[in-house]
């Protein structure tokens, strides 16, 4: 059930009607819990049962952690939570990857292994809800939050449908306290939520889905295309993945807001970043903060005495982040490239600090280099294999001029145009201005915007890119 499908609109209309007709917070939470499992079960009821079992187990582990002061017992239960969640993630997402890698390695050693015929269906959103549950048990173990005593409340936190399948990854310290009181919705909050949902819908369906055929055409068979077509396709993919994923996040935040709950911002104009570190402060913020808090800092974070240790921690963290995104070596390489880029950038700043008169060039130059580095890395993310990635990279760097096949020239102008629109929307505070309109004018503008969005809809619906993760 995609956020852009008519059946979701029907589902959510019923949810809103029933939810706000209930006056009791307890009844509302019961209803949202049921609605969340219906939503997730619309893909496969078997995985809804798996989600229930995992969530119940983590709720139990957390209660056992706070019930004792014995360090070994506490470690035993948090380790059980880690083992359970990571085992589920490893089985469903990485079995084929590890087995395939082992077979390739064996063949290089002149050994012959038979490929097993395993048919494993990837549960939608498994990477998101396992990380979310892990953050809960780890935070309880670290004594940073209290354990949730109510099983119903914890199950609702773990299955809250607006963000269940593709984030943002919700942190318990931020979300659980909101469940303790009856939620309310002011007219201003409703307008902002409606605006944000439409913005996300437009980004996903009208931009990302319409660009997808051009991107697929080049990346599936890049050999006959020219270097300019390959560069344009890379830019288009950068736009597609941003509009697809941030569009989902916008809609998820909006749906939660219409139920009275607040979710954290997940994107903050990442293509306006002036450094690689700045990019990761703006891109998929909920994942960035997760791997920072639970991987980078657990490894020791920034060392005050040895910068090589800091760089090691950065590389391990980014490699893990790459593997989280997908079960392929291209994703690992993508994470490694971003980690290496951060290390090189820090070393460059250390070796060649900018002089005062050069500072005015830092941001424009940093933005240009960062944007092109990120686009180069997206090639690894999108390419089906390293052969395609290498060819597309050569084309991007103009080492290989490529073939003669082209894609429409006007597509090359979409990226600069959208960047300019985003910059103007931030400068002019378009969201604030629209939400400040009177009810009649807001309704008129909103209806006109929906009419425009519907007129630009492509044929059919494409799954959100991050559903596969």
Query: Is 180 noted as a catalytic residue in this protein?
Result: no
Which of 112, 180, 325, 338 does the annotation list as catalytic?
325
Measured from the Cβ of residue 184, the count of other Cβ atoms closer than 10 Å reads 8
Measured from the Cβ of residue 33, the count of other Cβ atoms closer than 10 Å reads 20
C-alpha torsion sign, points 383, 387, 392, 396: positive
Maximum distance among all alpha carbons in the chain? 74
Give CA 73 to chain center in angstroms. 34
Separation CA 22–CA 37 (nearest Å): 19
Separation CA 202–CA 246 (nearest Å): 11
Residue 340's Cβ-count burial label (10 Å; 0-12, 13-18, 19+) is middle
DSSP 402: B
Task: Look up tokens 């880029």; give the residue.
Answer: 341
Q: What is the dihedral of CA 304, 307, 309, 313, to 10 degrees?
A: 100
Separation CA 453–CA 247 (nearest Å): 13
Listed in order, strand segments (DSSP E) in 14-162 are none
Measured from the Cβ of residue 416, the count of other Cβ atoms closer than 10 Å reads 10
Give the residue numbers marked as catalytic.
325
């Amino acid at each position: 059930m995609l956020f852009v499908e008519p059946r979701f609109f029907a589902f959510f209309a019923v949810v809103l009607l029933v939810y706000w007709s209930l006056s009791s917070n307890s009844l509302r939470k019961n209803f949202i819990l049921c609605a969340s499992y219906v939503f997730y079960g619309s893909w496969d009821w078997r995985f809804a049962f798996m989600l229930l079992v995992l969530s119940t187990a983590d709720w139990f582990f957390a209660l056992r952690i706070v019930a004792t002061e014995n360090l070994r017992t506490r470690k035993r239960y948090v380790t059980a939570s880690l083992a359970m969640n990571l085992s589920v993630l490893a089985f469903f997402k990485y079995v084929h990857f590890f087995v395939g890698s082992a077979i390739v390695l064996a063949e290089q050693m002149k050994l012959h292994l038979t490929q097993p015929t395993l048919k494993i269906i990837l549960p939608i959103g498994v990477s998101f809800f396992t990380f979310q549950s892990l953050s809960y048990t780890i935070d309880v173990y670290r004594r940073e939050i209290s354990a949730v005593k109510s099983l119903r409340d914890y199950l609702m936190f773990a299955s809250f449908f607006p963000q269940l399948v593709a984030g943002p990854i919700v942190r318990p310290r931020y979300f659980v306290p909101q469940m303790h009181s009856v939620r309310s919705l002011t007219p201003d909050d409703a307008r902002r939520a409606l605006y944000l949902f439409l913005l996300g819908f437009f980004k996903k369906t009208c931009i990302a889905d319409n660009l997808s055929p051009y991107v697929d055409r080049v990346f599936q068979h890049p050999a006959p295309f020219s270097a300019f077509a390959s560069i344009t396709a890379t830019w288009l993919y950068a736009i597609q993945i941003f509009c697809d994923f941030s569009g989902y996040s916008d809609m998820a935040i909006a749906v939660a807001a219409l139920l009275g709950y607040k979710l954290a911002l997940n994107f903050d104009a990442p293509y306006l970043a002036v450094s690689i570190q700045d990019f990761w402060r703006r891109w998929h913020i909920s994942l960035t903060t997760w791997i920072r808090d639970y991987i980078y800092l657990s490894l020791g974070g920034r060392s005050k005495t040895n910068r090589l240790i800091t760089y090691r921690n950065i590389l391990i963290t980014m490699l893990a982040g790459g593997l989280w995104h997908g079960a392929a070596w291209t994703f690992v390489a993508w994470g490694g490239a971003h980690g290496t880029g951060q290390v090189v950038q820090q070393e460059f700043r250390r070796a060649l600090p900018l002089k005062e008169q050069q500072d005015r060039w830092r941001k424009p130059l940093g933005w240009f280099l960062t944007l092109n580095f990120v686009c180069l890395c997206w090639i690894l993310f999108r390419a089906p294999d390293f052969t395609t990635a290498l060819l597309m990279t050569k084309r991007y760097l103009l080492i290989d001029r490529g073939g003669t096949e082209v894609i429409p020239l006007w597509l090359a102008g979409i990226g600069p145009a959208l960047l300019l629109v985003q910059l103007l929307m931030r400068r002019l505070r378009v969201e604030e201005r629209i939400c400040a309109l009177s009810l009649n004018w807001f309704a008129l503008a909103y209806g006109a915007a929906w009419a425009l969005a519907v007129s630009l809809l492509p044929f059919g619906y494409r799954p959100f890119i991050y559903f596969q993760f």
